[in-house]
Amino acid sequence: MTAQTAVVPITGTELLAQIQAEIKANPYFAQNFGNDGERFVAWYLRRVLLRDPVQARDDITDGSNDKWIDAVVVDDEEQRIIIIQGKFINASKVDSGPLEEILSAWMRLQDLSALQKDCNEKLKRKLEAVRKALDEEYRIDFELLTTGELTDAAKADLKAFSEKLSESDDFTASLTLVDTELLETRLAEADAHELPSLQHTLKVNSAKTLLTHVTNARTIVTLLPLKECLAFPGINDGRLFRKNVRQSLGSNNKVNRAMRQTLNTEKIKDFFFYHNGVTALCDQLDYDEKLGEIKVKGLSVVNGCQSLSTIYTASERVRSEQASDACVLFRLYEIPERTLADRISVNTNSQTAVKPRDLRSNERVMVGLKRAYETRYSSGFFITQRGTVRPADKDENFTVDAAVLAKMIMAWHCQRPNIAHNEKKLFDEYYKTIFRTGYDPGSILALQTWLNAIDKAWDNLNLDDQLRAGRAHVKFHLLFSVSALYANVNKQPTMVASPSHTLKAAQAPSQILPLAATCLQNAFQSAYNEAVVSGKVFSPQNWLKSGASVQGQQLVAGTVTSMLPSLPNSNFLLQSLSAPAEVFTPRWSAE
């Protein structure tokens, strides 16, 4: 869509028709979900939250004894738990019933043991994953998903319930109404997810807007209505904050809770005076004073992530009549130069302490790894900062993200794929263990090549659907299984092969990856069977995060390698997995 194209908001009826048409056109929904309510939530999971087909089916908990919880998403990448209650409403009005169901679900989630005793089997499995996520301090987001409109009484209840959830000292959570307006915004964000930059048009009051130049950078300072903040793209998935050194800290952060209290009281009209403002960068801006419009390309907020995220979760309050005059100081700089943009990001966030992991992208070892890798491989690209887009002249197969590299090293060198999901720990307490000066660029490429191969072979690997639903974890467990096969074939069960020695095999992995999948699948099946026999609830997601999964895969890898000589392709496999003793080293400790 060009900058000149007018965007006409769709109505609830039109959106409902669009959703119904998309559900009807895709047999996936009819074949996997038993009623319109489930299909509506599944549509949201697939189209808006971008869950894959297996994940979406696994996320749905709707049915008998669902305890008013239609879907549960445990997002390890964003470290949050999303609890969804969906109402596929043909009528235009929604009463307080669904909100009361969410409040009931919130109260019951505070006693997971009791809830797990009388809920359905699908929810029982999810609650085990929720328990583990809460132990790791994931934030909780409740979402009421509807194509209808709340009654006035329901709107009052929404405000009251939101305050109750966010102000709880024992079990803090956020509550978001995903109605037609917000659903349309999120759907547009999802459709544009792969775009390299954000484009947006801000509506401003020209009388309260200043355009000037500061050291050759075009700068706009304006009083931006809080309601206009809700229209920013990329808040929900974090793309708007890709140059910010901090992402959202969640609703239980002390500052965010105080800000939310301001938004939910009569003080909202004075929000401008209590707030430092929002700072944003863009590659290009075009200000039309007559129309009161600022068109921006390459938009990114570098200071104000917490504020915009909190405003976003209080959307109904921000849209209310009491908030009509509420505004925030908004600074926009046209800064196409990357180096200056990074400095602005760091310095505008110095009002509170920036944790070391937020600034690892500029740390000496990280910069050294990037330089060494890109020097060795001229078509390679090493990404140190989230949101960076691969240049067109760089090879996708030679592109490595530092966050992904950390997970690969944890799975391979540290032999702990069960920890690989926790990016926070990888860049904090395990950072010095993982990122080492002089680490071989050839090993970086080999690890990435194996991961690429796993992604390409994914659909053909013999894995249970419950494992497929945990793809973010499973990929690194498969990588670990490959390393375990190398160790056992070469009779080095306590050692780890240098990834660079395996690069040739990674480039032709068709015989090895099925063996790695067998290691994981058999270990998983054994753990599942054991849980069933003992009458325990088995959570695949929690098992993947446990040391038992590592031990199980190691055991199966030993069994598989002992059987290799009897396989028809044994000579090829043994030759591919063969490695001299000198390429093996002890694992890196990550306890």
In which band, very low, low, confident or very high, does the pLDDT at 195 lie, cut at 50, 70 and 90?
A: very low
Comparing 510 with 166, which gets the higher pLDDT?
A: 510
Do 81 and 107 sit in the same domain of this protein?
yes
Q: Are 146 and 95 in contact (CB under 8 A)?
A: no
- 298 — pLDDT class (breaks 50, 70, 90): confident
Cα 184 to Cα 180: distance, rounded to the nearest angstrom: 6
Residue 77 lies in a domain: yes
Contact 426, 450 (CB under 8 A): no
Q: Angle, to 10 degrees, between the axis of helix 570-577 and the axis of helix 471-489? A: 90
Q: Is the pLDDT of residue 380 over 70?
A: yes
> Concatenated DSSP letters for 326-341?
-EEEEEEEE---HHHH
CATH label of the domain that carries residue 138: 3.40.91
Answer yes or no: is 1 within a domain.
no
Long-range contacts (CB closer than 8 Å, 24 or more residues apart) made by 51-54: 52/471, 53/28, 54/465, 54/468, 54/469, 54/471
Among 352, 370, 397, identify where a domain stops. Answer: 352
In this structure, are 292 and 404 located in the same domain? no
- Domain end position, chosen among 319, 336, 352: 352
Pair (74, 143) in one structural domain: yes
Q: What is the per-residue pLDDT for 252?
A: 54
- Start-to-end CA distance of the chain, whole Å, equals 51
Domain-located, residue 42: yes
Helices 402-412 and 364-376: crossing angle, nearest 10°?
90
Asked if 436 and 365 touch (Cβ cutoff 8 Å), the reply is yes
Greatest mean pLDDT among 151-160, 171-180, 347-356, 437-446 lies in: 437-446
Q: State the Cα–Cα distance between residues 49 and 83, nearest whole angstrom.
A: 13
- Supply angle C-alpha 239, 292, 321, rounded to 5: 75
- Whether 492 has a pLDDT exceeding 90, the answer reads yes
Would you give the DSSP letter of residue 230? Answer: T
Q: What is the mean pLDDT of residues 347-365?
A: 58
The predicted model gives 134-148 an average pLDDT of 88
pLDDT value for 424: 82
Residue 7 located in a structural domain: no
pLDDT of residue 90: 61
Confidence (pLDDT) at 211: 94
* Other CB atoms within 10 Å distance of the CB of residue 291: 12
Domain limit, last residue, from 153, 169, 188: 188
Whether the CB-CB separation of 159 and 264 falls below 8 Å is answered with yes
Residue numbers of the domain that contains 236: 194-352
Q: Report how far residue 187's alpha carbon sits from residue 132's, in angstroms, rounded to the nearest whole number.
A: 30
Q: Quick one: 102 and 242 in the same domain?
A: no
Q: Does 241 lie in the same domain as 143?
A: no
Longest dimension (CA), the chain: 81
Using one digit for the tens of pLDDT, what is the confidence trace for 250-270?
555 566 677 888 888 888 888
Which of 38-47, 378-387, 396-405 shows the lowest mean pLDDT across its residues?
Answer: 378-387
What's the rounded mean pLDDT across residues 411-436? 92
- The yes-or-no verdict on residue 2 having pLDDT over 70 is no
pLDDT level of residue 459 (50, 70, 90 thresholds)? very high
**pLDDT exceeds cutoff 60 at 249:** no
For the segment 571-587, what is each residue's pLDDT rounded down to a tens digit?
888 999 999 999 999 99
Q: Which two tokens stand for residue 263?
A: 């938004």
3 assigned to some structural domain? no
At residue 216, what is the residue type? Answer: N
Contacts of 417 by beta carbon, 8 Å cutoff, 6+ apart: 410, 411, 473, 476, 477, 479, 480, 544, 549, 550
Confidence of residue 353 (pLDDT cuts 50, 70, 90): very low
Same domain, yes or no: 283 and 382: no
Regarding pTM above 0.75, the answer is no
* Judgement on whether residues 112 and 213 belong to the same structural domain of the protein: no
Residues 462 and 545 in one domain: yes
Amino acid at 84: I
- pLDDT higher than threshold 60 for residue 352: no
Pairing mode, strands 174-178 and 139-146? parallel
- Do 257 and 201 belong together in one domain? yes
User: Looking at the domain assignment, is residue 324 inside a domain?
Assistant: yes
Indicate whether 3 pLDDT > 50.
no
The reply to whether 374 and 432 lie within a common domain is yes
pLDDT digits (tens, 9 = 90+) for 203-220: 999 999 999 988 878 999
- The count of domains in the chain is 3
Share of the chain above pLDDT 90, in %: 44
Task: Determine the pLDDT at residue 192.
Answer: 60
Portion of the chain with pLDDT greater than 70, in percent: 88
* Residue 586 backbone dihedrals phi, psi, to 5 degrees: -65, 155
Residue 342 confidence (pLDDT): 54
pLDDT at 444: 97
Question: Residue 196: its pLDDT value, please?
Answer: 47
**Is 270 in the same domain as 334?**
yes
Q: Is residue 409 part of a domain?
A: yes
Whether residues 161 and 281 fall in one domain: no
Per the CB < 8 A criterion, the answer to whether 520 and 551 are in contact is no
Is 217 domain-assigned?
yes
**Contact (Cβ atoms closer than 8 angstroms) between residue 295 and residue 205:** no
